[in-house]
Amino acid sequence: MSKQEKLARLGLAVSLAGCFYLAVHLFPVSVLPIEGPDPDTASTAARLMILFLLAAYFIKRRDASPLADERDRSIEARRANAGYMSLALMIVVCATLGLEGYDVFWRSRSPAWLGSGLMFLMFASLVIHSLVGVVHYWRDRR
Task: Quick: pLDDT tens for 77-100.
Answer: 999 999 999 999 998 988 887 677
CB atoms within 10 A of CB 35: 8
Rg of the chain (C-alpha set):
17
Provide the residue range defining the domain that includes 64.
Answer: 3-141
Instruction: Please tell me the pTM assigned to this model.
Output: 0.80
Indicate the number of domains in the chain.
Answer: 1
Instruction: Give the pLDDT mean for 34-61.
Output: 77
Instruction: Give the pLDDT mean for 17-36.
Output: 76
pLDDT(65) > 70: no
Whole-number average pLDDT of the chain: 82
Give pLDDT, residue 125.
93
First to last CA, the chain: 13
